[in-house]
């Protein structure tokens, strides 16, 4: 009977050890899943922030607007003939 008790005690110890190892693995997997979810959440927040910046209208003071370097090129591009055709009624 003592051999049986020793064997049962050994089995209980082995089961307990296996359970502890399984719990540690589960904890590691949970930690990895949590880290992955945290990373995805941060990336999504960053994408939302970037999209918000793209939609933002920038208001500038008239003195802060850069001046064109060559005024002739601007007049030539917007001058007659190069734009939309005139509407005739």
Q: What is the pLDDT of residue 69?
A: 80
* H helices present in the chain, as ranges: 2-55, 71-78
Q: What is the pLDDT of residue 83?
A: 55
Residue 17 lies in a domain: yes
Residue 61 lies in a domain: yes
The list of the chain residues with pLDDT below 70 reads 1, 3, 5-8, 71-89
Number of domains making up the chain: 1
Report which of 81, 59, 78, 58 is spatially closest to residue 68, judged by C-alpha positions: 78
Q: What is the pLDDT of residue 59?
A: 83
Q: What is the pLDDT of residue 45?
A: 95
Q: What is the pLDDT of residue 85?
A: 61
Residue 85 lies in a domain: no
Residue 12 tokens read as 């209980």
Residue 10 lies in a domain: yes
Q: Give CA separation, 32 vs 35, 37, 39, 83, in Å.
A: 5, 9, 11, 59
Q: What is the pLDDT of residue 25?
A: 80
Residue 26 lies in a domain: yes
Q: Give CA separation, 4 vs 1, 15, 18, 35, 56, in Å.
A: 5, 16, 21, 46, 77
**Where in the sequence is the domain holding 66, given as residue range(s)?**
2-76
Cα-based torsion angle of the residue sequence 13, 15, 18, 24 in order, rounded to the nearest 10 degrees: -90
């Amino acid at each position: 009977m003592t051999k049986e008790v020793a064997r049962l005690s050994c089995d209980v110890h082995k089961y307990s050890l296996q359970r502890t190892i399984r719990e540690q693995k589960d904890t590691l997997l949970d930690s990895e899943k949590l880290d992955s979810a945290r990373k995805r959440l941060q990336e999504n927040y960053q994408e939302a922030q970037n999209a918000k910046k793209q939609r933002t209208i920038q208001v500038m003071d008239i003195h802060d607007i850069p001046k064109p370097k060559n005024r002739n090129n601007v007049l030539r591009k917007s001058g007659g003939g190069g734009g939309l055709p005139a509407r005739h009624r």
